[in-house]
A and B are shown apart, each in its own frame.
Chain A
Amino acid sequence: MTAADPGDASVRHARVKAFFNEVCDLPNTATQRAALQNLGADSDTQAEVLRMLAPPPGATRFSDAVGQAAAQWLGSPLRPGDRLGSWTLVRPLGEGGMGRVFLAERSDGHYQQQAAIKLLLGWSGAQALERLTRERQLLARLNHPHIAKLLDGGTTASGQPYLVMEYADGDTIDAWCAKQRLPLAARLALFASVCDAVAHAHRHLVVHCDIKPANVLVNAEGRVMLLDFGIAQLQGQGAQAPAGMTVGYASPEQSAGQPPGPPSDIFSLGRLLETLARPEAASHRRGDELAAIVARATARAPEQRYDSAGALQRELQRLLAHRPIAALRGRRAYALRKGLRRHWPWALAGAATLALTATLAGQLMLQVQRTRAAEARAHEAEQRALQPRAPTLR
């Protein structure tokens, strides 16, 4: 019955199958055997077919095995009170009856600490877990006052990996701004902290990939905390949609399924800035400039955006200091207006006592040129600065 030649095996299999199909509807073994003899089956084939026709002892055995395996793979649902390593689950946070994010407490009795535990999908097999370990080490290097820190990680009893993150409680940044009725300058200051955190991560070659208000919390003391750095990548974007990224915050290249890099984060920062500034900026004197900054941060082509989160942050500082912004650089009339506004007491005094003479105009122009030269130097320095372009978390 064990033919060495696979061709032989196929022929033999086809023969057995043909005889099987001929006699399988006959009522009992005796008639089946008689039919096989009548049809001219050799004795090996007869024995094989009759063995196959014996009633199967456990038909559901394999579907049970597959079902159990799938249930294992999906992971048994965790519940409050369950322990993962030195953490005890307190209650589910966020979405889903399966509870993929939990509030947890340290249960080793040493000291009290709360954390958010996140279960990751799509990581099975030794290789994948090894890669996850490397990614975790990368994330653990982030150490910034505005980034929720990765504390720990491990694998559940059913083999599902999880991450333990610093737990941040508070309002989402947009809700906080609305609740506190923050003026534009205060909103921009909060946003600057976010830029600072993103710049820190980019320097450590970590891309956030899912910057949006829901991932930026402000606690009761007004401290900004950026959640889930690099986690979108680890979770697999498909797996968490539609709870995941909001359409407007994902860069065009991310929406097209390309691997995101630092410019994708700049895009999302631009959208966040737009969300935060919109209520205040519409009626604001600097509305046009803010719009230009948002437009540059969210340019369709990644290379047209700000080179770094730091560059975006410095641009906002220029805006607040009434210096010309890079997004409108090269517009002469704009630069002149900026120069006038910055030196208005001096210009006003001059205008009051004298007619606006050629001398004054010349002074102003000189000032503007100096400012622009300084801007150009700063821009060059920004260009030279190390840009973490390489996306590391795929």
Chain B
Amino acid sequence: MSGNPSPPLTVLLQAWRRGDSDAFGQLIQRVQGELLRMAASRLRGVETPSLAVGDLLQETLVKLMQSPPAWQDRAHFFGAVSMAMRSVLVDHARARHTDKRGGDWQRVGYTVSEVGEESNIADLLTLDALLRQLAQVDPRAAEILQLTYFGGLGREDIAAVLSLSIATVDRELRFARAWLTAQLQRDLQA
């Protein structure tokens, strides 16, 4: 049954690293297809899709990464795919936001409460912007946040993938989350 004619993931990843944007598209289609299949088997007969997308992502990526290669490749793989998820979701959210508002998004601080989809879109775009900001001063913390939010990885997986101790990951996460919160409060006061 394995009639998959598209190239192996490692080939796609290498091509993407060389700047091949088709490879990126294929990578995303692959992840999306796998996510849909897993979601389908998980949600069969359920009315609304569960929002445990983090779990879904994590399982999907692990499944896509079936033959476990070197840890270095694993780090690269999870880094690449979480980055890919991030850019696809941000693009998608931005397009939807433009559809709804016909303009640029506004960063939203903590107490500004909008309901539903629009606030989610704003949150996602805010998260993306803050991650970019954090990456400039603290790349490791930014990477750990990205793996958490867009790779669906838990603390133990992150420790394994980045070859860090779990205690270090915990410390980084605690700080990075506190940093995010502080930034949001600052935006609100500004």
Q: Is the CB of B49 within 8 A of A76?
A: yes
**Would you call A310 an interface residue if the criterion is a C-beta within 8 Å of the partner chain's C-beta atoms?**
no
**Would you call B14 an interface residue if the criterion is a C-beta within 8 Å of the partner chain's C-beta atoms?**
no
Q: Is the CB of A56 within 8 A of B178?
A: yes
**Would you call A93 an interface residue if the criterion is a C-beta within 8 Å of the partner chain's C-beta atoms?**
no
Question: How far is A13 from B133 in the complex, measured between Cα atoms in Å?
Answer: 11
**Would you call B53 an interface residue if the criterion is a C-beta within 8 Å of the partner chain's C-beta atoms?**
yes
**Would you call B70 an interface residue if the criterion is a C-beta within 8 Å of the partner chain's C-beta atoms?**
no
Of A175-183, A191-199, A244-252, A368-376, the one with at least 4 CB within 8 A of chain B: A244-252
Q: Is the CB of A6 within 8 A of B137?
A: yes
**Would you call A285 an interface residue if the criterion is a C-beta within 8 Å of the partner chain's C-beta atoms?**
no
Q: Is the CB of B40 within 8 A of A97?
A: yes
Q: In A20-58, which residues have CB < 8 Å from any B CB?
A: 20-21, 24, 48, 51-54, 56-58
Question: How far is A257 from B6 in the complex, measured between Cα atoms in Å?
Answer: 5
* Residues on the B chain within 8 Å of A65, using CB: 120-121, 123-124, 127
Q: Is the CB of B138 within 8 A of A17?
A: yes
**Would you call B67 an interface residue if the criterion is a C-beta within 8 Å of the partner chain's C-beta atoms?**
no
**Would you call A70 an interface residue if the criterion is a C-beta within 8 Å of the partner chain's C-beta atoms?**
yes
Q: Which residue of B lies closest to A253 (CB)?
A: B5
Per-residue contact bits, chain B 90-119, to A (CB 8 Å; 1 contact, 0 not):
011101100000000000001000000100
Q: Which residue of A lies closest to B123 (CB)?
A: A65
* Residues on the A chain within 8 Å of B85, using CB: 70
**Would you call A391 an interface residue if the criterion is a C-beta within 8 Å of the partner chain's C-beta atoms?**
no
Per-residue contact bits, chain B 20-53, to A (CB 8 Å; 1 contact, 0 not):
0010011011101101110111011100110111
**Would you call B88 an interface residue if the criterion is a C-beta within 8 Å of the partner chain's C-beta atoms?**
yes
* Residues on the B chain within 8 Å of A125, using CB: 91-92, 95
**Would you call A345 an interface residue if the criterion is a C-beta within 8 Å of the partner chain's C-beta atoms?**
no
* Residues on the B chain within 8 Å of A247, using CB: 2-3
Question: How far is A381 from B115 in the complex, measured between Cα atoms in Å?
Answer: 68
Question: How far is A335 from B119 in the complex, measured between Cα atoms in Å?
Answer: 77
Question: How far is A97 from B36 in the complex, measured between Cα atoms in Å?
Answer: 10
* Residues on the A chain within 8 Å of B35, using CB: 70, 74
Q: Is the CB of B53 within 8 A of A122?
A: no
- Given A17-B175, A241-B6, A67 and B29 contact (CB-CB distance below 8 Å): no
Q: How many A-B residue pairs have CB under 8 A?
A: 185
Min Cβ gap A350→B in Å is 55
Indicate which residue in B40, B93, B136 contacts A69 across the interface (CB closer than 8 Å). Answer: B93
Q: Is the CB of A56 within 8 A of B5?
A: no
* Residues on the B chain within 8 Å of A96, using CB: 36-37, 40
Question: How far is A241 from B43 in the complex, measured between Cα atoms in Å?
Answer: 20
**Would you call B159 an interface residue if the criterion is a C-beta within 8 Å of the partner chain's C-beta atoms?**
no
Q: Is the CB of A69 within 8 A of B5?
A: no
- Given A121-B33, A122-B25, A257-B11, A245 and B5 contact (CB-CB distance below 8 Å): yes
Q: Is the CB of A242 within 8 A of B3?
A: yes
Q: Which residue of A lies closest to B91 (CB)?
A: A125
Question: How far is A125 from B95 in the complex, measured between Cα atoms in Å?
Answer: 6
Min Cβ gap B35→A in Å is 6
Interface size class of A (residues with CB under 8 A): 35 or more
Q: Is the CB of B92 within 8 A of A69?
A: yes
Q: Which residue of A lies closest to B139 (CB)?
A: A10
Of A231-239, A317-325, A357-365, A382-390, the one with at least 4 CB within 8 A of chain B: A231-239
Interface core residue of A100, A238, A255 (most chain B CB under 10 Å): A238
**Would you call A124 an interface residue if the criterion is a C-beta within 8 Å of the partner chain's C-beta atoms?**
yes
Q: Is the CB of B43 within 8 A of A124?
A: no
Min Cβ gap A242→B in Å is 5
Q: Is the CB of A241 within 8 A of B7?
A: no
- Given A69-B120, A70-B57, A74-B39, A122 and B127 contact (CB-CB distance below 8 Å): no
Residues of chain A at the chain B interface (Cβ within 8 Å): 6, 9-10, 12-14, 17, 20-21, 24, 48, 51-54, 56-59, 61-74, 76-77, 96-98, 100, 121-122, 124-126, 159, 235-242, 244-247, 250, 254-257, 394
Given contacts A58-B110, A236-B30, A250-B5, 19 further A-B contacts (CB under 8 A): A10-B137, A10-B138, A20-B175, A21-B171, A48-B182, A62-B123, A62-B127, A70-B89, A77-B49, A122-B29, A124-B88, A125-B92, A235-B29, A236-B26, A236-B33, A239-B36, A241-B6, A250-B3, A394-B22
Residues of chain B at the chain A interface (Cβ within 8 Å): 1-7, 11, 22, 25-26, 28-30, 32-33, 35-37, 39-41, 43-45, 48-49, 51-54, 56-57, 85, 88-89, 91-93, 95-96, 110, 117, 120-121, 123-124, 127, 136-138, 141, 148-150, 171, 174-175, 177-182, 185
25 contacts across the A-B interface (CB closer than 8 A): A6-B137, A10-B138, A12-B137, A13-B138, A17-B138, A62-B180, A64-B123, A68-B51, A68-B117, A70-B53, A70-B57, A71-B51, A73-B88, A74-B36, A97-B45, A122-B32, A122-B33, A124-B88, A125-B92, A238-B30, A241-B2, A244-B5, A246-B3, A256-B7, A257-B5
